[in-house]
Every structure is written in structure tokens, then in C-alpha cells.
Structure 1
Amino acid sequence: MGFDFGNANDAQREAISTTEGPLLIIAGPGTGKTYTLVKRIVYLITEKNVLPEEIMIATFTEKAAKELVTRITNELYEIGIQINLNEMYIGTFHSICLRILKDHLEYTRIKKNYRMLDNFDQQYMVFQRINKFRSLPEFDAIFEKKQGAWRQAGTIVKYVNNLAEELVDTEKMMQDSDSQIVAIANIMEQYDILMEDENLIDFSSIQTEAYKLLTEHPDILKDLQEKIKYVMVDEYQDTNYIQELLVFLIAGENKNICVVGDDDQGLYRFRGATIRNILEFPGHFADGECKQVKLVTNYRSEKEIIDFYNNWMSTTDGRAYDFLWKNFRFEKEIVPGKDNYSEGTAVIKCSGQELVDDWFEQVYNFITKLKREGTLTDYNQIAFLCRSVRNDKIINLIDYLEEHGIKVYSPRSEMFFSRKEIKEAIGCLLLCFPAYLEKLRNRDFAFDFQNLYDYYDHECIKAAKELIKEHKDTLGNWIVEKMKQHSNLHSANTDYAFVGLLYQLFQFEPFSEYLGIDLKTGVTDERPARNLSILTSILGKYEYLHRIDVFTEKNIVDGVERFFNMYFRFLFEGGITEYEDDSEYAPSGCVSFMTIHQSKGMEFPIVMVDSLNATPRENSDARIEEIENKYFHREVFETRDDIKFFDFWRLYYTAFSRAQNLLVLSCCEKKGHGATPSKYFEECYGKLPSYEDVDLSELHLEKVKPVNIKDTYSFTSHIALYENCALQYKIFKELGFTQVRVGATLFGTLVHETIEDIHRAAMRHEENTIVPDTIREWFDTNYSTLSKSEHSYLGQGQIESAYNQVLRYVERNKGDWSRIQDAEVEVSLVKPDYILLGKVDLIKGEGDTVEIVDFKSEKKPDLILESTELKKYRRQLEVYAHLIEEKTGKHVSKMHLYYTGEENGVPTISFNKSEEHIDKTIGEFNDVVNKIQSKDFSGRAKDKKLCANCDMRHYCRRKGDC
């Protein structure tokens, strides 16, 4: 029976079945790129007998990776093929590189328990250590002396991020005659020293460290090359220099490299991406060796929309802004693939005249007209795209629509601090600290941040006082109590800090109402709870960075002032994005506002494109350009004069091609200086009819397609947590609230990680290193990195107890490690609606019969008193055993719980694997997942001991749930 190509057209079939040798798939918008990729992977597995672990698929976003995983597993599931997803290298370049690094950490500068930095973390890390940079030679060559530390930190991070992945030679840069280049080289070197000393990693260094690992350790590279036989890269037009290097490095002499992308949608130059990677890809091979397939049949859009954006890309010369694509674009024309098309109603305009209020009204009238006539059945069928969703014009339009009853979803508009629930929460927190309040009233601070102080005074505290009027006997009394307590910490510390204080606040209205929201209601109704979750994350991060576990007489004044006047100020000025749901990019009942970059890869029935006043602009840094000319490994590709035009045209091509049924160009028309639309849109815009002059009553709009992403669940952090308490699951997993850090797990993690080091050494056949001196080195390193990352410490007695547990484990093995076959083995169970993940601590045995072991760093429990807990462990192990048998083809004869804290007796509790139990156990897991997916969080903890240290205990007591 032949392969089922489904509805694939000829070009797609060719792309799917071309598996050997280099392949370039140029995929225009709406041409079924993901469908083709999925079918190609299924074809490799089913027709070419390629193992999942022999395939690497790099995607641009985690969301794209999740969608690929879902669609691949669904296709294979339907034809009865189960695969262990953990074996396939699928994800973003960053996640794939991180996986490679984790497998070989001992060969890198990164140690266990490293901390990952996002962009804000990067800047804050540099800010905290700015004097180390300011003391560098030539630092003053690029910074003004009066420039603030935070701005300097931002510039430093910009240079590091822009240059690191270009693998510039900083030692050579230090010899340059230009003092500014020397200064940047010194900065990069100091940054690298800090990252190593603090065991930190950022998004750039993930890839540079992976490249360094593979180039400096040929044996590791060889093993990877022998394992991965097929390399596929999505969105290849948005890859950068180091990503291209990694593709060809991992592929090695194997030329089975398939890259997919659209040069017309290359948008990420500002992140270091270069269009040259896709344009020059065929040139890496002999003439004619690289096969090229163009997918140009668009199944997404109306013919008029396709004609509109084809014309946009093809007519660029003969005007005031004359430019030619020359050899910087693959020639292509997208053709329609639908059968029936509407005429004269697919591309229109919706405009205001001169006054922005008129534009607001026109947009509102257009939307309500479609809704009133029944053409628009859900507001989520409309997406409003613009260059930025943070400018006042867009934010005011959002406010206008919401004030007139149209809900808007725009998480990146950075409206976090203007949300009612955030102002209320911050106001209530401020009122709890009378010493800070007094200084705020008098503006008795070293620096005058007027906007921030006015925000606290006129918005936050005002909102809190209004709440106190409504809830004087509850919330009001609690705040008075906290004011007194925080004013008198001479005798005793509190048992909480910022996050714990906020969790206490959640017991009172309206916060308890926000958290009590039914999660079936939709994203906008959930927004208050989601934003409060983000607030707990902000507070938790600050506590972590400044090591504040509880309030004391010593830290409460400086710690509170530092938070509100420094840490919070940086976030306030920089903005915070609100919660985004990967599984629902267009929530029902809301008009979506997003940037053009954000919309890439998406499609909407109606797309309204704003920012028509825009013009092509150069976005460059003279210092970085100079370094590029001197120290980059490739010469400049596109001419600098043309880049601004190329990027401008590609940006709006991407915007126009998101539309399925109706493309609307929208602006507030203006003549003279700053004309809108600008001259670059005049011709295409001027020909369009206004929505008022077009009969849209017969327009048929598609429904927004649901995002096809399977949720993943783990045994311990999902299934067990939900069974323990569904409310805990809702708060900490579903809504993502930050839990107050506790050191209780430090002991167990320390033991576990050191035993993992022992197993790794055994699997490397380095049994001679498993001796007390080396074990102590591993143990001390693990404790050092763990305590640093957790900001938590053990007493000397606890440290020695943990070390003795490890030594006792080694002694019991009597130096025989030959039976170890694998350790820290990730397994997955693919179901139609979800994926269950787990990790097996140890697989040991001989030949085709093995045993699995799960380690517990405690004494062996009473088999009778703890029978319920043991039953949970047993069913988890049974499913692990089932998955190990499927993955390896080996028979699991025994399952063990190994208690490293057991001193004298037998340290294990062993179970025989029972096939009849496995189906029952998986059925029980299915029931739990079904409840989670149906948003049933009504269950409460049956064991009230679980409530004692739960962050939600104040909330539950107030509601009478515990």
C-alpha cells in the first residue's frame, strides 16, 4: 500500500518524497508549509524506516515545535505507530542546543543548576555589576560619564547579544586602533567572565556554548553526526550566522539537509537573522546538487488579496522610492488555490479624516456594521496589525473599543500597569509599609522619578483606598495590622516577604474573586488572575535576586525602597507584556491587536493593517557596522542603501498575506508633513474602495482555526499535584503563580544530582573515578551551584548527612557498575489528546532483561502506614516500565524504589510489573487529564497536612475550604 499524500499538490508531493540530499523548499504564504513538513517527517519514518532519533527539526518558535509534534504524533497514531518523542531532536535552535549541552555539561563552562537569563535579567545582572564594566579600559570611549547605570547596562547587553553569535574574535578586537572597538571587546570579555563565575546562561550563549562544545570535542560531534541522519530547518530565512554553522556542523558529510522558508517574509534582521542564509543555501553544494521546490499555491486567501500582495512585491521601481530586488529575492508569484472567489470586496480601506477620534469612530463603525449584518459572527475573526502596539494611538484605539463594548486581546501593548487589579494590588502592598509611605508623601528619595511616584500616589494608593472603603472590616483591618507589624520588627521577623504578603492579600475581595474565576470563561475574563500571577513572578524574582526570604528590622526599609524605586521602576519604564496563550492566539469574543512580527505564521478572516504613515528607515549602529566590516566572518551581503527598502516591503508583505477573506488598510488620513498614508502606500491605498461603499453583506468569513497543540503532562508535577489538590493545580500550574521558595528540596536534589554524576561516570566507562575524593568534588560542586541558584543553604550536619547517603549508595554497589545501562531516561506516552512525560532515574540489568530504579533521599517508609503513597509510586513505575519496554524492546523484570536515607536495612522496595495494572493506571491518568483539560478544579486536598505550607492557605481558610 502506497504512502498517503492526502490532498498534497504536485509541488508538495515532490517536497515530501525528496528525502536524500540537500533540499530547499521555498514556501510562500498559505501554501501548506506545515502540512508538507509533517507529511515529510511521516514519510521518512514510515517509508524510509528512519528512526525518530535520527531526525532533527529546528523551528523558529516553541509554539511551532509543539504544533509539529502534535500533528506528527496524530498522523502516526492514526496508523498505529507509537514513537518516543524525547528521542527526536525537535524544537527551536535554542532548545535543541540546550539539550545537547545538558547531555554533556561536564565538557562545558556551564555547571548544573545554571540560571537562564531573559533580556530583562541580562540587563539587571549587568546593572548590578556595572562598576566591573565601568572600570574597564576605554569604557568612557563609548559612554558618557553622566549616563545612568541602567541605560549603560542596556547598551552593554545590546552589544553582547548582537555580536556574540557572530563569533567575533575579541582578542583581535582588543588590538584595534579604534578605542570604541577595544571598549566593546573588553565589555564582551568581562560579560563572559561574569556569566561563567555566576553559572549563568542567556539565549545567545546557549548557541555559542553548543557550537564551542561540538567544535572542541570531535568525539561528541561525531556521535551526534552518526545519530542524526536528517536535518530539517523551518523559517530558514530567519536564521543567523551561528545557526547556519550549527546546521552544517551537525549534518557533517551527510547532505540530507532540508531547509524551508520564504525570503519574502524575512523579518528578524534586528535579532541578527540574515536573508543570505536561504538565498545562498544552494551555493553550499555543487551545481544542481541542491533540489529546489517552490510552493506557490495559496489555499488561505481570496484572489484579490493574493493579487494585492503580489503587486506590492513586484512593483518597486519607477517611482520616488525606486529600488530593485536584483538577486536578493527568489522570483515567485503566488497563485490562488481556492475554487470560488468574491469580486471587488476582498481588499478595502477604513479611514478617518485628520482627527484621530474620527478614525476611532470609523473603525468602530466598520466592526459594528459587520456584526450587525451577521457577517461577523465572532470578534476574534478580526486582527488589527501594526508596527507597534505600544504607541499612544493604538492604546487609545484599544481603550475606545473596550469603552464601547468591544473586547480586545493585546497582551503586548504593555498595559499591565494600567490594569485595575494591578493598581489595586500594588496600592494595597504600598499601604502595608508606613515608612516607605511617609517618604513617598514627602518625595524624600535620592532620585526624582515623578511619573513613578505619581503612579503610586494617584493610581495605586487611590485604588487601594477605594477598596478599603468597601471592605473596611476585612481588607482594611488587615492592612492596619500589617502597618503596625512592619513598623515594629524589633522583637521578631515576619515569616514572609513580598510574595507571601501578596498571598495573604488574596484572601480578601476583590482578589479572591479574581482568583476564583472559572477558567472556562475565556482569556479576557481570566486576565486579572493572569496579571496577578505575573505580579507574583516579579516579586519572587526580586526576592531571589536580593536574597530576601522574610522581612526583618534590617532589610524592610532598604529592601522595600529598592524594590519600589529601582527594580519596579525599570519594569514600569520598560513595560511588561501580559499573559499570552499559545493554544489560543485569537480568543473568542475579542478583536486581536498585534504587531506584524507577532502575526507571522498566523491567519485571520479579516486583517486590518495600520501604520500606513510608516517609511523605510535605516536601523543601524555605526559601531556595530564597523565591527561587522572588520571582524565578521562574512562580508556584508545586502547593500546598506537597499536594506531599509527590503525590510519595509517584506514587513508589509507579511502583514497583507495574513488575511483570508478580507484585507483592510486602515489609517487616519492626513495631508502635508507626516502625511498618512505615506508615499510608499499612496498608489495601492488610493485605488481601494471605502468599506462604506462596498456591500459586504454577502461576504463569507472563515472561522478562526483552533491551534492544534497537545498539552504535555508529567507524572509528578501534573498528575500527582492535581490528585493532591485541584486548587493548587489551578493556581500554580494553570495560572502559573509563583510558589514561595522553600529549601526542603535542596537536600534531596543534592543527593540525586551526585548519584547522577556517579551513573554518568559509569556509563562513560570511568569507573575508576568513582572514589571518595572524586565523589566529594562532585558533591561539593553540586552543593555550590545548587545553593547559589536556590539561595538556600544546609547546615553542616545536613551536608554531611547528604554526603553519607551518597557514599552509602556507592558502598552497597561494591564497585560493580557493569549492570548500569542508562540513567535519567526521558520517556513519553503519546495519547490522542495529550502527551504524558516522565523520567526514569536508572535502568540496570544484563542483556534484554532490565530493572528500573527511582531514588528517594529519605528513610524507607512504613509499608502499611504509607501504603497510599507507595501505591502512587508503584503505578508511576509501572507506566515507566511499560514505556521503557516500548522504547528499548527490553523486558522490565523489576521496579525498585531506592531509599538512600535507609542506614541499616534493605534500602529498596521492589515491585513486580503487572501488565493488568498498566491499562488501569493509564486509564486513571486519562481521567485526571480529562478533568484538567475540562478546567475542573473543584477538588480540594483530602490530606489537610498538605495545606499547612501551601501559599493558598489564607485564601482557602477565608473561603472555608481548609
Structure 2
Amino acid sequence: MFDFGNANSSQREAISSADGPVLITAGPGTGKTYTLVQRVIYLIQERGVKPEQIFIATFTEKAAKELITRITNELAVRNISANVNEMYVGTFHSLCLRVLKENLEYTRLKRNYRLLDTFDQKYLVFRNMHKFKIIEGIEEALSKGGSWKWSEEICNYVNNLSEELVDADALAADPDIAVRALADMLVTYQTLLTDENLIDFSAIQTECYRLLTEKPNILESLREKIRYIMIDEYQDTNFIQEQIVFLLAGEKKNICVVGDDDQGLYRFRGATIRNILEFPSKFADGECKVIPLVLNYRSDSDIVDFYNKWMATTYGAKFKFTWDKYRYSKRIEPHEKSTIKSPCVVKLSGKDDEDEWHERILSFINRLKDSGKLTDYNQIAFLFSSVKHQRVTALADFLEKNGINVYSPRSDMFFKRDEIKLTLGCLMLMFPRYVQGLETGEYTFLQPEHCFYYRDCILVANEYVKKTENKELLRFIKQHGREHYGLTGTTDYAYSGLLYQLFMFEPFCSILDTDLSVGVVDIRPTRNLALLTQVIGKYEYLHRIDVFNGKYININTERLFNLYLRLLYDGGISEYEDDAEYAPRGCVSFLTIHQSKGMEFPIVFVDSLSGTPRKSYKDLMNDVEERYFHRPAFEPADQTKFFDFWRLYYTAFSRAQDLLVLTCDENARTPSKYFTDTYEKLVSVDNPAFDLSEFKFKTVKKVNIKDTFSFTSHITVYETCALQYKFYKELEFMPVRENAMMFGTLVHETIEDIHRAAIRKEEHLINEAKIKQWFENNYVSLIKSEHTYLAEPQKLAALKQVLRYAERQNGKWDTIRQAEVDVSLVQPDYIIEGKIDLVRGVDGTVELVDFKSERKPDMVKMRERLEHYRRQLHIYAYLIEQRTGQKVSKMNLYYTGEENGNPVISFPYTKSAIEGTVAAFDDTVHKILRHEYKHCSDNPQTCRNCDFRYYCQGK
């Protein structure tokens, strides 16, 4: 008998309903993730399903990691051996990207494509705005505004049209000039992606859909592999995601979707509530099993009653709407009745002005702390419709000035942080011509707020460097300012290099010294400096800046500050969010309601009570939806604003576990008429009926996520220098960009093309002409991604290595089993991963091959490097045996640069040696997990090539 543990009857039914379509409607706090985990265990344990036959799409990567961790922990408890990392688990985007990577040769993408984030996408359009401005009728389709606003609108349109699979040709034939302009926008944008070998988040899904529909053999292969599909947060899926789900399921129809229609918040991203509401109707009557989870384990019964009433009350003095068929009728039930007399839903009002509201919130938080009921500020979360609003940032500033740290990663406060203003000020001072331009008002296109910000950064830096103790920093800045002012030749550095040189001085040196074991609050400045290296490094990459030269230094500097950083400043940049921390210790959290979805906190303040239902769609897009989307509009246009408004605040109210506080500074507009009746009935926190002594607040739950480690990317870096690991891997500082090892990459990728052809049984393609074609295609894609070239002799040498390898095989390709295979293994508290160049099958066993695009080394002189490679192959052998059960007979290094002699160095398989390497790997991982980053490299060559050499010199 399967052990269902503490599962209730509805959860048991959901866990054991394995075959056919299943809809699980899971209200807040009803154990959705627990049910999903147990359903996976049930499939593996009771139904004999292999992990690789299960496909699970989650809403965030963090949710996917947590799911994997909880599944592996549960399997361990039940003593079941299964390699869960073989599962298809991730977001829709990451899963679609995996399918594309596995079948890249059948897509429009070439190797070395670049994935655009939201800012990258807008910046791409912005930089190519001249191609969009010539589109006839574009002014009719877009709002009035500058190029940056147009870029944002164009991206929103193309994302929506792509994900709805709208036919550009059909739009182009529309009589409305604005609709025809949309067609041209879409075509122009997609041409940009293809020409530059780029892909954005919406294109990931459309490319995957196209692959599955146009290559039936690939779809059939995936259908054979994937037997069971589970989709989390189904209410937030869009049209193309639904299409992909049903394509993969095929005739088996083993689709289990989980979600809560009352928490559908992402219409603005193209999500549609219809997917979850119409899911049962996709099948024959009675074929789809619908299982509601309504027993809430999260919140006090008063809180549950409150948000149930919120969803049921859809009428008031000045408003009225009806849910009709646009909601599953439900009532969430608390798992137990509240045991305290004090109300658990209260209000906190500011009567006179904003300052008084600030004081009252501070007073109440101090009251919670002084009572001993609050053990950590992270038990408190404030939820807002936006955390960027001046009213919200003013409250955050007030609390921080009064000793209460605020964690608000989405508030776009990055540029306002002291360490960022100081760093940017120091950088600007090293470019006197730019500073002069600011002072004389030369940059007339800059808005006053930009000029004020940059001048403020310069003022902060000037005040700092003029202090006596900072005279070395002042000397450094003056010296570089003189050099840059009169530069005629070239330097050996650019902006990133300057930034790393600043790290030898205070306060940067002390910021980098921060001990990572003390929590997110103290390392926030360090994280921000790391993020700044990423921002500046990406600018240098996009604009192909490796060094300064006298001809371009001024224009590049103006472009950095007046364009790139200005657009980031306007568009907002989020600070670092740590997946390993649910809510940082010592901080109250300021979150958007959207951001808080799926989370829970003991004490929740819900603000933004001045909100009103607002239309969230564009009239043009509404017109396109009616005529060109693949299905007619679902929810009535005049009602959607009410639906979205009620769902938003329902989600907010249901985050609270022990205490829900509605708060606002009362005035003529706050609370709005939609909250007035609800708000007025609540007891104030000052009312004697609210008895704080009755409460026992829960602690914030711990995030349960396993980190992933590989030999080359983690162990090698840590063993070389633990400080490098701290900065590059843990904190994610971006290294100063150096030319990639293009030669080796080119050789590797073309050899992989040969192996893939052999695996597909297309050995006839492995000839000189085809190899040259593969080689050239890879070279072109590398040029686009790396912005660099090989000299012709180097390029010919690389091609010769590939041709020589193919010739040496003498047509014997039948032993190849896998190429470029990603292998991973879940351990008790982390995941090992690696990538093996080639797996060959010989006499019932397998051999591993790792390619090196160099000459065979001297076995004596290079013994340390060879020992390193041997340990790497040990880890690969361990992963292969643990994952597949196949016996590894031999491990090989293949040197493609060896011209005349034997290109192979072989290592025998020795179990004891492999066990020793794995034990050492495990020991190093645990040092990393304990944040032991004290030791530095003692190799002068390592230090000379390290960006942090200035920091180490300054200590």
C-alpha cells in the first residue's frame, strides 16, 4: 500500500489519479506543492514510471529547484533509488529551451545564440529604431513618446502576437493601417533575431512550437519519452503554452494541471484564465477528473473567512459585477478554527498625513518587537501594487532611518544605493571631458532628473576622495583623468578594468571583504557592486569595447552614461534576489502583490488600498484579438478589470498566516470605494479588542533548494583560488571580457556536428565538403556571439584538426552512443553535473572521451594538468555509472592537435581512485556550502590574470 502520510482525502485522490486528464483546483495554502511531490512519488513507486518519463512545468525556476529537492528528499525517506534529475522539470521557457538545444539543427538558431532578457530586448529594438520608424502607419499603432517608449511598446506587441501565433501575413492584409503596421513590426523584429542569432523569452516558445509541429518525428520521439505531464499554476499559462502541452500529451492525454483561477494575475503577460476554466471541456464529458483542494493549512480561520468574503462580495454602493462562468465556485475551509479571541484581520490607519502614517507603522512594528512575539523582522511582509511608488519608497526610507532594514529587490533602488552612486561618481571623475559636458549643459537631451543624478554622484565622489584618508584614491582618479583627457593611443583596459582597479581602495575593499555567512542584509552592497560589473560588462560587449582609444573614448563614455545607464535608470533595475533565502534575516520585506504569489508570511500588511479596477488592454490589441487570435475573446472586456482587481487582492490577503493588517493613510481617496465597507468594519490595532498577547507568530519557512556543482565550473575554480570562487561564482561578478578560446570552441563544435550525424545514422554526411560547411556555420555564429575573429592561418589550423580527426576514424562511427551529453546526479544535499564530449560503446561497456584542441602534452612536465583531467574524467565516469548503470571501461583524452603520433591518452577505470576523487569533490562542495573562502592562490600566474589582483594588492 502506498503511504499517503498526512494527506487529506482530496489530496489522496489527486495523488493517486494517475491516468487521463486531471484538473486540481488548489486554493491558497491547500498543500499544492506537497500534493505534486507525492503524485510524482506515486507515479515512480506505484506505477513504475521512470523519472525521465515525467514532465513538470512550474512558474519559476526557484519553484522547479524546490520541487526537485523535495522529490529527492521524499524518495530518500522511502529508500527509493531514482535519478530525479532526468525529469523534465522547469519553467515553460527552460523546458522549451531544452527541447530546442537537443534539436538545434532543426531550428532557425545557430550555435552560440544569445538569449535576451527584457532590457536586452528593448535595447535591441531601440538600437535598431531606424528600421521601425520607416514602417508605414507606425505612429497610428504606438503612443506618443520617445524611442525608448516606442521600444517598450513594440516589444509588448511582438511578444503578445508571437505567443498567440498570430499570422503576420494576415495582419498585413488588414484594411486598418495600424494593424498592418503591427505586421511590419513583427516581421522586422523577427528578422533582427534571425540575423543576429538571438532569441527572446516569447521566441523560445514559438520556436519550440514550430519545431514540434513541423518535425513530426521529433514530436513523436518526445511523446514516446514523456508519459505524464504536470503543469503548475495553470491559470497563468497562455495560448502557446496550452498548445505545447496538448501536443506533447498526444493520445495518452495524461495531463494533470494544477492551479487556482482566483489567483490568475498575469493577463498583462498574455496569460489567460480560460485555460484552467476550459480545461475539462477539452475532453469528452466526464473524461477529465476535477479535484478541488479547499482545506487551508496556512492561515488563521479569521483570515480565511476574510478573503472568502472578499471574493463573494462583488457588489457595493457604487459597484457591481458578477463572476458568472469566469470562476470555479468554491469556499476555502480552514483546517482548524482559530483558538484566539483577538481578531486576526485588523487595520492600521494614518489620520492626519503621511508622516503620521509612517510613525504609526513604526510604532506598531516596535510594539510587535518589544512584546517578544516577533522574533525576526523577516516575519513581516508589506504588499503593494507597486514598490516603485514614491509613497512606498518614502516609507522604506523612514523605516531604514529608524533601524528597520527593508528588503525590496523590485523597488528599482539600485542606482540610489550609496555604493553605486560613489562608484559611478568615481568613474565619471576619470573622464573630465564628460564631466565638463555635464557642467556646461552640453547634453541638452538629458532630462533634469538625469543631470541631477549624475551631478549628485560626482558630488558624493568628490566629497569622499577629498578626505585625507582617501588621498591614494584621489591620486588614482586624477592620474587616470589626465590620461583619458589627452588620450591619443590606446590603453590596455576599458570601463570594467577601471572598475576592478577601484576595488583596491576603500570603501570598495571593505565592501568586498564582507563575510558571506552573515546574511543578505550585510552583503547587499557587495551584491550591488557585482551587479554593476555585469551592467558595465554587458555594455562593453554590446558596443564591442575592449580597450580605450583616443578616437572613441569620449563618444563611448557619453553613450555609457547618457544612453545605456540612463535607459537602465529610467527602466529600473532590480537588486539581487537570493533563491536560497525566503525572506532575508533582519529585514521586513517590501514586495509587489504579484511578487508575493506563492509565498506566505506570519504577518502581512496590505497597502495600496486606493486602488481601483482599471482597463489593462489596448484597444488596438483588443481589435486584433477579436479578428486574428485563434480563439474568440473569453472574458467580457467590460468585466475583466473587476476580475483582475478582485483576484489581485485575494492573492494579497491569502499570503498571511497569523495576522493580516490592512493599512493606509486615510484621505479623500484612500481607501477607495471598493474597500470602504470592508475596511471600516475592521478593528484597529489600537483597539483593546486586538490583544497581541494571544498571538504566537510562526517563523518564516526555510527554502529547500539544492545547489548544482560541476568539476570544471566549481571545484576547479575553488581549488585554484577560493576568493575567486567567492567573487565569480557566489557573488556573480562579471570578469573583464577577454577573447574567448575561439579556436578550441570551433574545433569542439564541429566535431560535435560529426558525432550528431553519426548518432542520427547519417554517416554519409560525414565528408570533407559537409564538414567544411559545418565548420563555416559554427565560425559565423561564433563571430556574432564573441565579436572576434581568427586569423586565417589559425582558422585553417582549426579546420585541419577537425578533418584529421574525421579521417583517423576511418568511417568507424558505429561505437558512438552519445555526444555532448549533460550528466547529473542528485546527492543528499547538492547536485553534481558535468558535460561529456563523447560516450562510445565497446564490448558491453562504455568509454568516455574528452577532446583537447592542442598538441599532446609531455607526460612528465604536464603531469599536474593531466592529473586534473584524470580527476575530471573520474567524476564523469561516476556520473555515467550512477545514472545509467553502464560500466565504464576506459577514460580517454583525445588531442586533436597531435599531427603524427597517437592522439589519445587513456586512463584505466579504477574504482578506488574514482571513489577517492568523489570523496574529495564532496569535501570541497561542503567547504563551499559553508562559505569557506579564506584561502587565496599561491600561483603568481593565476594572480596576474585575475581581475581581483588590485583588490588583493590593496588589502
TM bucket normalised to smaller: over 0.9
Q: In the alignment, what sits opposite 1:612?
A: 609
Inter-partner Cα distance in structure 2 for 1:782 and 1:502: 33
Correspondence for 2:274 = 276
Which of residues 825, 831, 848 in structure 2 aligns to 1:835? Answer: 831
User: Residue 307 of structure 2 contacts residue 650 of structure 2 at CA under 8 Å; is this kept in 1?
Assistant: yes
Verify: 1:733 aligned to 2:747, yes or no: no
Query: Which position in structure 1 is the counterpart of 2:42?
Result: 43
Aligned residue for 2:90, secondary structure, equals strand
The structural deviation recorded for 1:127 is 1.0
Residue type of the partner of 1:498?
Y
Moved more, 329-338 or 269-278: 329-338
CA distance in 2, matches of 1:366, 1:848: 71
Q: Does 1:537 align with 2:534?
A: yes
Q: Indicate how the Cα distance of structure 1 residues 464 and 903 shifts in structure 2: closer, same or farther if over 3 A, else same.
A: farther
Shift of 1:919: 2.3
Kindly tell me: are residues 847 and 638 of structure 1, through their superposed partners in 2, closer, same or farther at Cα, counting changes over 3 Å? farther
Q: In structure 2, how many angstroms separate the alpha carbons of the residues matched to 1:266 and 1:882?
A: 44
2:507 corresponds to: 510
2:213 partner amino acid: T
1:114-146: CA deviations, max 9, x gaps?
A: 1111111111111111111112233343357x8
1:583 and 2:577 aligned? no
Q: Report the CA distance between 1:317 and its aligned residue.
A: 3.1
Secondary structure of the residue that 1:260 maps to in structure 2?
strand
Structure 1 residue 592: Cα displacement: 0.3
CA contact (8 A) 1:428 1:461 kept: no
**Cα distance per residue 1:204-239 (max 9 Å; x no partner):** 000000000110011111111111100100000000
User: Distance between the aligned counterparts of 1:523 and 1:277, measured in 2?
Assistant: 38
Q: 1:445 Cα deviation (Å)?
A: 2.4
CA displacement 1:736-788 (0-9 Å, x = unmatched): 11111212421111111111111001111111111111111111111111121
Stretch of structure 1 that moved more, 238-247 or 738-747: 738-747
User: Mind listing any 5+ residue stretches in structure 1 that lack a counterpart?
Assistant: none
1:688 to 682, 685, 697: 682
Q: Report 1:19-34 matches (<5 A).
A: 19-34=18-33
Residues 301 and 338 in structure 2, CA contact (< 8 A), matched pair in contact too: no
Give, in whole Å, the separation in 1 of the partners of 2:885 and 2:518: 45
2: CA distance between counterparts of 1:53 and 1:847? 26
**Partner SS state of residue 816, structure 1:** coil
- CA pair 431-556 structure 1, distance change in 2 beyond 3 A: same
User: Quick one: which amino acid aligns to residue 622 of structure 1?
Assistant: D
Confirm or deny: 8 A CA contact 1:431 1:461 kept in the other structure.
Answer: no
Q: State how far apart, in whole Å, the 1-side matches of 2:591 and 2:504 are.
A: 35
Identify the match of residue 759 of structure 1 among 744, 755, 763: 755
SS in 2 for 1:635: coil
1:643-662 map, 5 Å: 643-662=640-659
Deviation at 1:585, TM superposition (A): 2.8
Could you tell me how far 1:449 is from its partner in structure 2? Answer: 2.5
Secondary structure in 1 matching 2:223: helix
Q: Over aligned residue pairs, what C-alpha RMSD do you find?
A: 1.3
Q: Which residue of 2 aligns with 1:205?
A: 203
Q: Deviations over 1:782-821 (max 9, x none)?
A: 1111121011222111111111111111111112111101
Contact 2:303 2:654 survives alignment (8 Å): yes
| Residue 788 (structure 2) aligns with | 792
Map residues 306-705 of structure 1 onto 2, 5 A cutoff: 306-317=304-315, 319-338=317-336, 341-490=339-488, 492-671=489-668, 675-693=669-687, 694-705=690-701
CA offsets per residue over residues 8-29 of structure 1, 9 Å max, x none?
A: 1111111111101110001010
Partner Cα separation in structure 2 for residue 596 and residue 739 of structure 1:
35
More moved, 708-717 vs 208-217: 708-717
Is the 2:825–2:883 Cα contact (8 Å) retained in structure 1? no
Secondary structure of the residue aligned to 2:467 is helix
Asked whether the equivalents of residues 429 and 458 of structure 2 are also in contact (C-alpha less than 8 Å), the reply is no
- Residues 593 and 759 of structure 1: is their aligned pair in 2 closer, same or farther, counting only changes over 3 Å? same
User: TM-score if structure 2 supplies the norm length?
Assistant: 0.98
Asked whether the 8 Å contact 1:302–1:342 carries over to 2, the reply is: no
Q: Which whole-Å CA distance do the structure 1 matches of 2:778 and 2:444 have between them?
A: 41
CA distance in 1: counterparts of 2:104 and 2:740, whole angstroms: 26
SS at match of 1:737: coil
8 Å CA contact retained: 1:82, 1:830: no
Q: Is the 8 A contact 2:837 2:850 kept in 1?
A: yes
Q: Which residue of 2 aligns with 1:901?
A: 897
Structure 2: segments with no counterpart, 5+ residues? none
What's the secondary structure of 1:196's corresponding residue?
A: helix
SS of 2:856 mapped into structure 1: coil
- State whether residues 375 and 698 of structure 1, in contact with CA within 8 Å, keep that contact through their aligned partners in structure 2: no
Deviates more, 1:791-800 or 1:340-349: 340-349
Secondary structure in 1 aligned to 2:455?
A: helix
- For residues 847 and 54 of structure 1, the distance between their equivalents in structure 2, rounded to whole angstroms, comes to 28
What is the CA–CA distance in structure 1 between the aligned matches of 2:898 and 2:613, rounded to whole Å?
A: 70
The answer as to whether partners of 1:379 and 1:588 remain within 8 angstroms in 2 is yes
Report SS of the residue matched to 2:265.
coil
Aligned residue in 1 for 2:256: 258
1:247 equivalent to 2:245? Answer: yes
Q: Is the 8 A contact 1:214 1:220 kept in 2?
A: yes
Aligned-partner residue type, residue 944 of structure 1: P
SS of 2:872's partner is helix
Q: How many residues align?
A: 953
Alignment of 1:779-818 (within 5 A): 779-818=775-814
Q: For residues 499-540 of structure 1, give each alpha carbon's deviation from its aligned partner in whole angstroms, at most 9, with x where no partner exists.
A: 111000111000011111000121121111111111111111
How far apart are the structure 1 equivalents of 2:42 and 2:466? 64
Deviations 1:295-343 (A, max 9, x none): 1111111010000001111121364211111111111111111465323
Q: Which residue of 1 aligns with 2:871?
A: 875
Distance in 2, matches of 1:600 and 1:545, equals: 34
Query: What is the DSSP-based 3-state SS (H/G/I as helix, E as strand, rest coil) of the residue aligned with 1:259?
Result: strand
- Give the aligned residue type for 1:205: A
- State the alpha-carbon separation in 1 of the partners of residues 641 and 710 from structure 2: 47
Moved more, 255-264 or 894-903: 894-903
Shift of 1:474: 1.2
Cross-structure match for 1:920: 916
Match of 1:61 in 2: 60
Shift of 1:354: 3.5
Question: Which stretch has the larger CA shift, 528-537 or 861-870?
Answer: 861-870
Q: Could you report, residue by residue, the CA deviation over 1:592-643 in whole angstroms, capped at 9, with x for unpaired residues? A: 0000000000000000000011111111201101100110011110111111
